[in-house]
Structure 1
Amino acid sequence: MPYTVKEIAAALGAEAFGAVDLLISGVNEPALATPDQLAMATSAKYTESLSKGGARAAVLWQGADWQALGLEAAIVPLRPRFAMSGLTRMMDRGQGFGSGIHSSAVIDHTAEIAQDVSIGPLCVVMAGAKIGAGSVIGPQCFIGTQAVLGAGAYLREQVTIGAYCQIGARFIAQPGGRVGPDGFSFVTPEVSGAEQARASLGADNDAKPQAYARIHSLGAVVIGDDVELGANSTIDSGTIRATRIGNGTKIDNQVQVGHNCVIGNDTLLCAASAVAGSTVVGNNVVLGGQTGVGDNLTIGDRVICGGGTKVLSSVPAGRVMLGYPATKMETQLETYKALRRLPRLFRDVAALQKSVFKSDNSD
């Protein structure tokens, strides 16, 4: 349903100016906005593009002159990007999932389904599973034996929750998210080549060829409240104890969290990151896209790893890391600058050698 400018501003805790009774039915970029849409012009760089669109109202930056921009109304929040969180929530059209339980869903008679739960076509809910009130289970999802989903869960299509996994309130999983597959755990009867290489730091591998025996995953996954799991991302079950994800942590697409890992609160694991087994990641950590973290490490609170960082040893709290192998970002940048200077250094040394050679010949 459309909202007035006044209603939107009130929901965002922002100031509204001008024709606050204008009805808004959507949002758009400034150059593409139509008269019934709210233009997202959150900084002065959008000044020119506003004139190319047809918006009558916009979300503007602090200090913007909305009248000089040719607008009839404006919303000015304290932090425009943060306001986008509330605004997009208001305007989200959803996925069109139906209400109630679809006739094609297969639900074990011992499963506990709370009030106001939507379960889509071709879903499977196994014995003893519990789904909290107000949850939405999209098409083709699987909820395993005795798994627990807290209130307000929102599972997009084709999400898998493995047996015995325990998930808190307001969990969101994007298409293809997997919680609770077995961990990647295998062992050889004698010391393997990989173990030997790790212990020797790269000595020649003389271990005999051996078959791998599977270590089963007896633990599950425990996830706190307000966690989001991206598309095609995986959280493996623990071997003996559970793999754990803290409250408020957000996991991007194609991320791998290995068995026995403990991930803290309000941590971001960005696209294609991977955390190997039994590693502990602290609170408020950010792992940039394609960050790789080795096994059995500890990453302290508030650590930030830039994109593509490969962490091979534990990192103390508060560090900003970059590179392969990961070093402090300031060190990595200095090293990079030094590498860029190497060609000139080689030329200078070559010229100096040539000069010395000529001098020697002249004697």
Structure 2
Amino acid sequence: MRYTVAELARALGVPALGNADLCITRVAEPAHAGPEDLAIAMKPEYAETLSKGQAKVALLWSGADWQALGLEAAICLDRPRFGMSTISAMVDPGQGYAAGIHPSAIIDPSAELADDVSVGPFTVIGARAKIGAGTVIASHVTIARDVTIGEVSLIHPGVRIYSDVHIGARAILHGNVVIGGDGFSFVTPEESGVERARSSLGDQGEIKSQAWARIHSLGGVEIGDDVEIGANSTVDRGTVRATRVGSGTKIDNLVQIGHNVVVGQDCLLCAQAAVAGSSKIGRNTVIAGQAGVADNLVIGENVVIGAASAVLSNVPSGRAMLGYPAVKMDTHIESYKGLRRLPRLLKEFAELKKSVTKIGSTD
């Protein structure tokens, strides 16, 4: 891809500064930028390394003195990082998946593929599947019966989509994503040790040895529009009703969403996060890396759950949570400060105790 500075600035809705006819072929960090690269220097500290590279043009913050930085042109934005969304899309060369349907693909005769759908080598598409116009399906993908995928979606290699999964438009599923696998649902004929522990919060007493019986997953998965799911992530199907992921939600790599979970619109779930069965996540909620949400909880809207936190109870809307178990973020930080002070306090206590003992021995 090759763009002039003027074209990039026009796409961002801002004026091009300096020589707008300069051509850009890719983006680069300031110290490594060549003469046809757009240097990404979104903060003053990033711009300090511009002199180490050969950039003629840079993406800068509003009000930056681009001429003093030795540049011939610049694009300045109030939120340069947001501008990266547009620019990165323009210069992205893509993965190079071939158009058309590869002869090694196996497509059931009852499947419906709209115009301009691309299907890669060794992909299997099951009965009554419906694929929207302009969707690209890469190699070694399995799409089971009665699956629907909306238009202009991108399914990367190795994705597995089980039956009765419905995915909206403009979805992006990265490598080895699994959608619609069975939920982790098992039960014993009599009360199990797990059930007794939850009710007693302590001694389980005498536990009878029992085999686990499988509860089959009869529900499907419903995923909205503009959802992206990272590599090796999984969304389990519901037990009776469908597991749901709202439109605009972005899911990182290695994320687990359990059966019957409902994730609202425009949520972010970061790497190694997990949501246990039947929990509900409100819209615009962020679950940071390695955080976990226990089963059957309700998390409100606009909640932030910090990294490695364990949420064990319901969370009201608008709250920031951190820790194990997760509490209000400011409460956790104060507790952490107290924990760090504990060795000094213990030392002071020991000295005080020694002094009191000494005074007592003189009486």
Q: TM-score range by the shorter chain?
A: over 0.9
Gapped runs of 5+ residues in structure 2?
A: none
User: What residue is the counterpart of 1:85 in the other structure?
Assistant: 85
Equivalent residue letter for 2:279: T
Give the match for residue 21 of structure 1.
21
SS at match of 2:232: coil
- Per the alignment, residue 340 of structure 1 pairs with 340
Maintained 8 Å contact 1:196/1:207: no
The whole-number CA distance in structure 2 between the counterparts of 1:350 and 1:77 is 58
Helix, strand or coil: the match of 1:361?
helix
| CA distance in structure 2 between the aligned counterparts of 1:349 and 1:77, rounded to whole angstroms | 56
Q: What amino acid is the match of 1:160?
A: R
Which position in structure 2 is the counterpart of 1:58?
Answer: 58
Structure 2 counterpart of 1:46: 46
CA distance in 1, matches of 2:146, 2:233: 22
- 2:358 and 2:241 map into 1 onto residues whose CA distance is 72
Give the conservation status (yes or no) of the 8 Å contact 2:193–2:204.
no
For residues 41 and 171 of structure 1, what CA distance do their matches in structure 2 show? 30
1:197–1:205: 8 Å Cα contact kept in structure 2? Answer: no
Give the Cα separation in 2 of the matches to 1:223 and 1:168.
6
**1:104–1:123: 8 Å Cα contact kept in structure 2?**
yes
1:179 & 1:148 partners in 2: Cα distance?
12
TM-fit CA distance, 1:341: 1.2
Aligned residue pairs: how many? 363
Q: Quick one: which amino acid aligns to residue 338 of structure 2?
A: A
Q: Which amino acid aligns with 2:49?
A: S
Please state if 1:353 is matched with 2:353. yes
Deviations 1:15-68 (A, max 9, x none): 211110111111100000000111001111123200000011111111111111
Q: Secondary structure of 1:180's partner?
A: strand
* 1:199 CA drift (Å): 1.0
Q: For residues 169-198 of structure 1, what are the alpha-carbon distances to aligned partners after superposition, in whole Å with 9 as ceiling and x for unaligned?
A: 111101111110010011111111111111
Residues 272-311 of structure 1 aligned to structure 2 (within 5 Å): 272-311=272-311
Report the alpha carbon displacement of residue 205 of structure 1 after superposing the two structures with TM: 4.5
Distance 1:260 1:47 in 2: 48
1:185-229 residue CA offsets vs partner (Å, 9 max, x unmatched): 111111111111111112235221111111110000001111111
Partner SS state of residue 98, structure 1: coil
Cα distance in structure 2, aligned partners of 1:175 and 1:68: 45
Q: TM-score, structure 2 length as denominator?
A: 0.99
Partner residue in 1 for 2:98? 98
Instruction: Report the alpha carbon displacement of residue 76 of structure 1 after superposing the two structures with TM.
Output: 1.1
Query: Structure 2: which amino acid aligns with 1:154?
Result: L
| 1:189 pairs with 2:189 | yes
Deviation at 1:231, TM superposition (A): 0.4
Given that residues 299 and 314 in structure 1 are in contact (C-alpha distance below 8 angstroms), is that contact kept between their aligned partners in structure 2? yes
Contact 2:133–2:152, Cα closer than 8 Å, also in 1: yes
Q: Is the contact made by 1:15 and 1:77 (CA closer than 8 Å) also made in structure 2?
A: no
Distance in 2 of aligned mates of 1:35 and 1:46: 18
Aligned partner of 2:324 in structure 1 is: 324
SS at match of 1:343: helix
Asked whether the equivalents of residues 130 and 149 of structure 1 are also in contact (C-alpha less than 8 Å), the reply is yes
Q: Which residue of structure 2 lines up, in the alignment, with residue 202 of structure 1?
A: 202
Structure 2 counterpart of 1:157 = 157
Cα distance in 1, alignment partners of residues 47 and 175 from structure 2? 37
Which stretch shows the higher mean deviation, 307-316 or 9-18?
9-18
CA distance in 1, matches of 2:30, 2:86: 19
Deviation at 1:302, TM superposition (A): 0.6
Q: CA deviation at 1:78?
A: 2.5
For 2:5, the aligned partner's letter is: V
Identity of aligned residues (%): 58
| Cα distance in 2 for residues equivalent to 1:352 and 1:87 | 64
2:309 is aligned with 1:313: no
1:174 aligns with 2:193: no
Flag the 1:205–1:27 CA change in 2: closer, same or farther, 3 A.
farther
Q: How far apart in 2 are the matches of 1:126 and 1:69?
A: 58
Contact 1:14–1:78 under 8 Å retained in 2: no
Contact 2:283 2:301 in 1 (8 A): yes
